Amino acid sequence: MHHHFIEQVYRNNKNYRGIIFLDRDGTINREEKYIYHEKQIKFLPQVTEGIRLLNKNNIAVIVITNQPAVARGLITIEDLKKLNDILFEKLKKENAYIDAIYSCPHHPERSHSDIPRDAMKYRISCKCRKPGTAMHKKAISIYGSSKIIGVIGDQTRDILAAKNLGTIGVIVKTGFKGKDGLYDVTADSVCENFLNAVKVLL
């Protein structure tokens, strides 16, 4: 199973008019080096408003996240699932609904000797780690082929994933603000906050 990504589907109305892909850390909640405790989940400005607007427009809200903390042995798959469930519940309390969260637990570097044996098996090169699109494609298959509205994230990997999907990539000026310098790509749009990013895509 360790070659697979983690899929948590919370709702599926089957009749969405489109799909939007969101990054998690630095986009929905504050960027931390690694998130392993629910106390660390703090929403960024205008996120709940942005998600509510997507809900109102009947768009599937799909979170796609790289979570290498699993491969680093900092959290287990179970911990990760629980944190995602908490994120879903916290948003739900604000009447903001995400439909699914897809997490890649892998990391390609095999060099660290100090990681627990059970985490070692996630030290692989995979097709799901963004800018890879395996998770996006699985979501597209589940939510029907309704059109992809776009991708919102705070890193170049999100923009490259958008390009790989042939859709629009928007950077929010939170988290890394698109300045991670990993990939040489240009966002279609750069927005102050999450709500603005949603409005640009709608």
Structural domains of the chain, ranges and CATH numbers in brackets? 6-201 (3.40.50.1000)
Does the annotation count 154 as an active-site position? no
> Tokens standing for 122?
């996630």
Catalytically annotated residue among 23, 99, 154, 158: 23
Catalytically annotated residue among 25, 99, 154, 158: 25
pLDDT score of 192: 97
pLDDT score of 135: 97
pLDDT score of 116: 81
pLDDT score of 144: 81
Selection from 192, 190, 171, 126 nearest residue 22 by Cα: 171
CA distance 89 to 6: 18
Q: Are 42 and 29 in contact (CB under 8 A)?
A: yes
pLDDT score of 118: 82
Amino acid sitting at position 130: K
| φ, ψ of residue 171 in degrees (nearest 5) | -95, 135
Does the annotation count 23 as an active-site position? yes
CA distance 179 to 177: 5
pLDDT score of 41: 94
Give the pLDDT confidence of 109-147 residue by residue, as tens digits: 866 667 787 888 899 999 999 999 999 999 999 998 679
The residues of the chain scoring below 70 in pLDDT are 1-2, 110-113, 145
